[in-house]
Amino acid sequence: MCTAILSIGQVRGAELWLAGWALCAIAYFAVLFSMKRTRKKGAAKNTVFWFLAAEVLTDFLWAMVCYNRPVYLNYGIVAVYGLALWPVCLLVAGWIAARQNQSKSS
């Protein structure tokens, strides 16, 4: 998200990037908190931890690719495919969090 916020002044369409980030985050929490076992304090911490882990990983990768120089480097349409990394990381993080929450509740 930090990379998306930083990009608002420099990249056309960064607002859409930030909106997509927000929609993915809302979907992540809506799906995971809809499960009864995730609503406990320890499980909620797990869910938030894995969300933040996915966020830091993707933000770091986006920053390394797009901002490895002092200014934004435009990769064109190829950069759009890199945005798909966020939902994929959230799916993996959600799966890990659900598995950990399931093992704690058993």
Mean pLDDT by groups of 10 residues along the chain of 106 residues: 74 79 92 85 90 91 75 69 84 92 74
pLDDT for the residue 28 = 92
pLDDT for the residue numbered 78: 67
Q: Which residue has the tokens 């959600």?
A: 94
C-alpha to C-alpha distance for 20 and 63, rounded to whole angstroms: 17
pTM: 0.81
CA 9 to chain centre: 21
pLDDT score of 11: 72
State the pLDDT at residue 92.
94
